[in-house]
Structure 1
Amino acid sequence: MPQYLSLLLDCPVVIAAIFVSGIGGTFQYGFSISVMISPSAFIKELVNKTCLQRYNVSLEPWQVSLIWSFTVSIFCIGGLLGSLVAGPLISKFGRKQCLLLNNFVAIIGAVLMLLSQTAMSFEMIMVGRFLYGINSGVSLSAHTMYLVECAPKKLRGMVGVTIATFISLGKFCGQLLGISELLGTQERWSWLLGFNGFTALLQLSTLPFLPESPCFLLLDKGDRQACEALRRLWGNKDYSREVEEMLEEKADLQSIRSYSVMELIQNQTVRWQLLTIIVTFTTLQLCGINAVYFYSFDVFRAAGIQEHQLRYAALGTGLCELSTSVACFMTIENTCKKVLLFRGYIGMSATLILLTITLYLQSQVSWMPYCSMGLIFICIFFFASGPAGVTAPLPGEILTQSFKSAGYTIACTLNWASLFVLGMLFPILVEHLDYFCFFIFLFFCAGCGLYVRFNVPETKNRTALEIAIEFQRMHCKSAESQRKNSTEQKVNGIKTYETKF
């Protein structure tokens, strides 16, 4: 680890890129997920006051809850839309330019949030949440591609983990700023919801000083300024080999355009890479981590924590995820990514089984809530130490330049669709199954863990060509079928698999 940390410290511009792209990137996503918990009572009160003032109608509790649920869920709809347009925007404008333009969407949403209380309009919160969703949908793809392509090959695993680290940081900041001593009050909750605008302004004022992704400049734009970008990012080190690899890939992709989502789905040469993206990104939302957070309040209550102190206890869960993600950042280069994914999901599977048992016995054994509390932190640890950090950059590692945009579009679409479905179905599952709903999430965790163990090769320090060959070796029945596939690719003039940064 000291060796890789030393390499990173020798690239101060890459470190700056991590923080600048992260604070206006996946930080926004994590913050938007957790920030609605604290001001929920104030927003529901605003809904009632608005209807009473406009229409002289006092809403029933179920009507207020319905409007509240829609306000929370519309974030996912915006995120889905943002992920669908992210691919074309990133390919056209570039990673850096896309991140810059995306900040204006967050700023407009923040202004609506800030004015909602004064204007007595809960609809402004809905529109703001929708715009936040679009911003997060675009930034999940743009932030990931920008960082992975700016990092030296040896540091891509370490740098890729920071994508999840900033999600965890966003969640924790949403919890922290939401306490009553800071912004979680009747007078200041609109400033809490508008905080995303300040982080967007921070990125908007700093990102222009950083270079564009060298891969985008050279492979998509044919711009020789890629060498200058590499010099600024990596210093005066010898990066001739990296430039040579990019030029080789550019030559291989001369006659190949960027593929659309449908073309990626139909292309048989990358079917196992596509299936890997589908399995891992669907499981990322359906692994039960959100259910663990949900039940943490019940566990804390049963453990004797007072109602007014629950918000502070919840900070412990956010801090656990953040600290584990930082630890994963420090150790990932010494651990295989496949191992991190497999160990994370299998560990979560075992923890969910034990958590279900302890929740069942919670009312019968006095000390059982403390066991449940410990298991909650263990489950968060397994999630943050593997799946959270490894999954986000996966499409960029296993797909070539011509497939990357489409791959990230599919990955982020699955992420948002799964989050939306979970948001709609989770209350129903809890109502009918209570804590036995963990068995459903257990199925996804165990299934993904076993899929990764037997169907996915190691990606650490490998090019997409090497990964593709390993996919073929694992899934083709004989060497003859591999040679046949290779011949068919050459006949079609498609050399899909050579991605070298």
Structure 2
Amino acid sequence: MRQHGSYKFRRITEQFEVHVFAVLITLLPCAFINGISLAVLNTAAPAIKSFINDTYEHRYGVVPPEHVATSIFVMVNSFAVWGSLPGALLVNPALQKMTRKNAVLLVHVISTISVLFMGVGAVYGQSYELLIVGRFIGGVARGSSLSLVMVVVAETTSRRKLGIFQSPYPVTLLVSSAVGAALGHNKVLGTPALWIWAVSAQELASIAYFCAYPWLPETPVYLLQTGKAEKALSTLCKLRVGGGVALELGILQKELEGRSKTGQISFLQMMREPRLRLQFLVAVYTMNTIQLAGVQAILMYSDRILYLAGVEYQQVSFATIGLYLQVFLAFGVFISLHRRLGSKKLFIIGLIITDCGYLVFVISHALQDQSSWTSYVALAAMLVVTFGFQLGPQLCMTSLPSELTTSDSRPIVAFYSGCVYWTVASITAFVFPYYVEAWQALAYVPFVILSVLITVISIFLIPETNKRTAAEIQASFSEKSKKYKSPVF
């Protein structure tokens, strides 16, 4: 009896380890790459501008005019986001033509190429153009990884654990953003001689994935789509702790029934059926809430934002790192409340906190000329804004859309969500630096309006997901599509 109990415990432990390994090695390296590339130039800006000036002067024999140097730097920074849009367009072909783990492998291959351009190519070729190209290629990796990770992790873990197993992605994204901001500081690697190592640090994550790749399983959903039901059952047995494997396999098979040979719903199918149309629209906007509410502007330009709000220049980089590291507090609150409240309620609570923080920030920013203490209020308000983002829209960014969709609709939702996400991010990254200089505090008003609007819409349109099955969530979409009749829904 004792021997049998020992074997059972060892079996459960192995299943748990395989599951956690498959999820985390897919999720963490991609999040690390995205966080580093997102934030490293925020604090390394002086070193990059110095490189641009030196390269320009070496090539043309004159120091570049200020507006030229600024334009080149904005291109270097924003092209990481502009490259994300073609990366998002790569998701659907990758999901249809490649295995799931090969699709993620492609992300790391592209990221490695970008590091070679940004580091070795730019420095030894004395070319800021290669730095821009490298940032663009890195953007392709970022743009594809967001949606691919969402799909692969959702297909690897069980539905009832989606909220927990998807949440490490935004946590790692923000922690690695803090690491990137720290590496880019002029006291670390953000110097004219060492910045090459700061922008190359993301390669460590790709190396980790390359090493783990041979031991990663394919997802059960992909195996079912390719007609390998026995292999899918075997993989589920390796990934799941406890019983119900046959039942889960049956549910996945039913979701994929009657679809195309890829097992996916087409975009036209989703637009024709009211339930699927509402599911698509709600899932897409929930995944894009952090962009629509201005997170790209905060994460890429937080140093400049806080400086204009009155925070001392010597302190803004530390304040930026503090904004990122708040995610530990948000994650602790999220984990403790998620089982009781679920993703929908935490999403809305986070939005309400964000709305309140934004209003205080805009007001304090507008009044900074009238009182010196408003800079402290602005910093506190920005901490509240980022905490709200992290608790709600960011930690639910992939888990909530995953819960709202099914295995047959999730790939197409992830694809279009990624396209919208990176389109908004690209516009924000390029326009916001000029916009904030011209409008100061008023630059945030559109984000405040969108954030409040999304909060109200979410209360009515997002179905409750806590402790509900996929069938119950889809039934709720059917009811809401009949209740909220409009040309859209």
Normalising to structure 2: TM-score of the pair?
Answer: 0.88
**Cross-structure match for 2:385:** 379
What pairs with 1:28-427 in structure 2 (closer than 5 Å)?
28-115=33-120, 116-235=122-241, 237-253=243-259, 257-261=263-267, 263-265=269-271, 267-292=273-298, 294=301, 299=306, 305=312, 307-427=313-433
Which amino acid in structure 2 is aligned with residue 41 of structure 1?
Answer: P
Tell me the CA shift for residue 110 of structure 1.
1.0
In 2, Cα distance between equivalents of 1:370 and 1:9: 50
Give the match's secondary structure for 2:409. helix
Distance of aligned partners of 1:266 and 1:182 in 2 relative to their CA distance in 1, 3 Å threshold: farther
**Cross-structure match for 2:449:** 443
Tell me the CA shift for residue 262 of structure 1.
5.2
Tell me the CA shift for residue 266 of structure 1.
5.1
In 2, Cα distance between equivalents of 1:303 and 1:442: 20
Query: Is the Cα–Cα contact under 8 Å of residues 114 and 191 in structure 1 kept in the other structure?
Result: yes
Which amino acid in structure 2 is aligned with residue 128 of structure 1?
Answer: G
In 1, Cα distance between equivalents of 2:261 and 2:118: 47
Which amino acid in structure 2 is aligned with residue 411 of structure 1?
Answer: S
Tell me the CA shift for residue 281 of structure 1.
3.7
Which amino acid in structure 2 is aligned with residue 104 of structure 1?
Answer: V
**Cross-structure match for 1:23:** 28
In 1, Cα distance between equivalents of 2:303 and 2:83: 28
Which 10-residue stretch deviates more, 397-406 or 162-171? 397-406
In 1, Cα distance between equivalents of 2:140 and 2:13: 32
Query: Is the Cα–Cα contact under 8 Å of residues 219 and 246 in structure 1 kept in the other structure?
Result: no
Distance of aligned partners of 1:395 and 1:88 in 2 relative to their CA distance in 1, 3 Å threshold: farther
Query: Is the Cα–Cα contact under 8 Å of residues 395 and 411 in structure 1 kept in the other structure?
Result: no
**5+ unaligned residues in a row in structure 2: which ranges?**
1-11
**Cross-structure match for 2:437:** 431
Which amino acid in structure 2 is aligned with residue 150 of structure 1?
Answer: T
Query: Is the Cα–Cα contact under 8 Å of residues 330 and 387 in structure 2 kept in the other structure?
Result: yes
In 2, Cα distance between equivalents of 1:316 and 1:344: 18
Tell me the CA shift for residue 401 of structure 1.
2.8
In 1, Cα distance between equivalents of 2:81 and 2:13: 35
Which 10-residue stretch deviates more, 432-441 or 78-87? 432-441
Which stretches of structure 1, 4 residues or longer, exceed 6 Å deviation after superposition? 7-10, 300-304
Which 10-residue stretch deviates more, 404-413 or 92-101? 92-101
Tell me the CA shift for residue 269 of structure 1.
4.2
In 2, Cα distance between equivalents of 1:260 and 1:280: 20
Give the match's secondary structure for 1:18. helix
Distance of aligned partners of 1:52 and 1:372 in 2 relative to their CA distance in 1, 3 Å threshold: closer
Tell me the CA shift for residue 441 of structure 1.
0.7
Tell me the CA shift for residue 410 of structure 1.
0.5
In 1, Cα distance between equivalents of 2:308 and 2:441: 15
Which amino acid in structure 2 is aligned with residue 56 of structure 1?
Answer: G
Give the match's secondary structure for 2:42. coil
Query: Is the Cα–Cα contact under 8 Å of residues 397 and 464 in structure 1 kept in the other structure?
Result: yes
Which amino acid in structure 2 is aligned with residue 22 of structure 1?
Answer: L
Query: Is the Cα–Cα contact under 8 Å of residues 23 and 203 in structure 1 kept in the other structure?
Result: no
Which amino acid in structure 1 is aligned with residue 46 of structure 2?
Answer: A
**5+ unaligned residues in a row in structure 1: which ranges?**
1-6, 482-501
**Cross-structure match for 1:459:** 465
In 2, Cα distance between equivalents of 1:451 and 1:287: 14
**Cross-structure match for 1:493:** none
Q: Deviations over 1:406-455 (max 9, x none)?
A: 21111011110011111232234313321122221111111111111011
Tell me the CA shift for residue 237 of structure 1.
4.6
**Sequence identity, in percent?**
24
Give the match's secondary structure for 2:83. helix
Tell me the CA shift for residue 369 of structure 1.
2.3
Query: Is the Cα–Cα contact under 8 Å of residues 79 and 132 in structure 2 kept in the other structure?
Result: yes
Distance of aligned partners of 1:225 and 1:297 in 2 relative to their CA distance in 1, 3 Å threshold: same
RMSD: 2.7
Distance of aligned partners of 1:229 and 1:107 in 2 relative to their CA distance in 1, 3 Å threshold: same
Which 10-residue stretch deviates more, 254-263 or 191-200? 254-263
Which amino acid in structure 2 is aligned with residue 39 of structure 1?
Answer: A
Query: Is the Cα–Cα contact under 8 Å of residues 91 and 405 in structure 1 kept in the other structure?
Result: no
Normalising to structure 1: TM-score of the pair?
Answer: 0.86
Equivalent of 1:470 in 459, 469, 476: 476
Query: Is the Cα–Cα contact under 8 Å of residues 44 and 185 in structure 2 kept in the other structure?
Result: no
Query: Is the Cα–Cα contact under 8 Å of residues 288 and 397 in structure 2 kept in the other structure?
Result: no
In 1, Cα distance between equivalents of 2:115 and 2:261: 44
Tell me the CA shift for residue 322 of structure 1.
4.3
Which 10-residue stretch deviates more, 252-261 or 351-360? 252-261
In 1, Cα distance between equivalents of 2:88 and 2:260: 27
Distance of aligned partners of 1:268 and 1:152 in 2 relative to their CA distance in 1, 3 Å threshold: closer
Give the match's secondary structure for 1:26. helix
Tell me the CA shift for residue 111 of structure 1.
1.5
Which 10-residue stretch deviates more, 438-447 or 23-32? 23-32
Tell me the CA shift for residue 140 of structure 1.
0.8
In 2, Cα distance between equivalents of 1:97 and 1:298: 40
**How many residues are paired up?**
472
Which amino acid in structure 2 is aligned with residue 129 of structure 1?
Answer: R
Query: Is the Cα–Cα contact under 8 Å of residues 274 and 481 in structure 2 kept in the other structure?
Result: no
Which amino acid in structure 1 is aligned with residue 84 of structure 2?
Answer: G
Query: Is the Cα–Cα contact under 8 Å of residues 264 and 407 in structure 1 kept in the other structure?
Result: no
Give the match's secondary structure for 2:390. helix
**Cross-structure match for 1:484:** none
Distance of aligned partners of 1:288 and 1:8 in 2 relative to their CA distance in 1, 3 Å threshold: farther
Which amino acid in structure 2 is aligned with residue 334 of structure 1?
Answer: R
Query: Is the Cα–Cα contact under 8 Å of residues 84 and 409 in structure 1 kept in the other structure?
Result: yes
Which 10-residue stretch deviates more, 365-374 or 110-119? 365-374
Query: Is the Cα–Cα contact under 8 Å of residues 281 and 414 in structure 1 kept in the other structure?
Result: no
Give the match's secondary structure for 1:37. helix
Tell me the CA shift for residue 99 of structure 1.
0.7
